[in-house]
Structure 1
Amino acid sequence: MSDEAPLTCSAKGCTADAVWALQWNNPKLHTPDRRKVWLACDEHRASLGDFLASRRFLREVVPAAEGEAR
């Protein structure tokens, strides 16, 4: 049994378990190697990804467990 809390989707009002880690950065604020992470369930992966991509912030989408380990 794990003592770790489950990862939860970052979408407003969503309480679903996160499956994806959307790694992003704002080049006006962060160095190129800096990665911020939004977590997403399957339902919100596209909408959160589209939001970040439209601003050219999205860098990579990886499984949530992998994204948290980095």
Structure 2
Amino acid sequence: MVSVSDEPLADEPLICSAKGCREPAVWVLAWNNPKLHTPERRKTWLACEEHREHLGQFLGVRGFLKDVVPLAEWRAAENGAGG
């Protein structure tokens, strides 16, 4: 039986969310669609340096983009909140 998960395995590098990109992620783009999500809900896309601006513009023109944070900072905040 195959297990499917949205969560990456601990030893797998996080990769950019841009279509076809396999570069390591260095940015987190936090967003939500106000028609679908409560105001405090945050979905995330990951971005490499090359695709950060493109993905941010895509979300921004739709009014979805809430924050852009370096991946290391995002992980530190998550680890601090959980501990």
Amino acid in the other structure paired with 1:61 = V
Give 5+ residue unaligned stretches, structure 2: 1-9
Structure with more relative contact order (C-alpha pairs < 8 Å, separation 6 or more): 1
User: Which residue number corresponds to residue 10 of structure 1?
Assistant: 17
- Is the contact between residue 23 and residue 67 of structure 1 (CA under 8 Å) also seen in structure 2? no
User: Which residue number corresponds to residue 66 of structure 1?
Assistant: 73
Give every structure 1 segment of 4 or more consecutive aligned residues whose post-TM-superposition deviation is greater than 2 Å.
65-70
User: Which residue number corresponds to residue 23 of structure 1?
Assistant: 30
- Is the contact between residue 6 and residue 17 of structure 1 (CA under 8 Å) also seen in structure 2? yes
Distance 1:65 1:31 in 2: 26
TM superposition score normalised by structure 1: 0.89
- Is the contact between residue 9 and residue 39 of structure 1 (CA under 8 Å) also seen in structure 2? yes
- Whether 1:48 and 2:55 are equivalent positions in the alignment is yes
Count of residues in correspondence between the two structures: 68
Larger radius of gyration: 2
Distance 2:74 2:47 in 1: 11
1:64: how far off?
1.4
Give 5+ residue unaligned stretches, structure 1: none
CA RMSD of aligned residues (A): 1.4
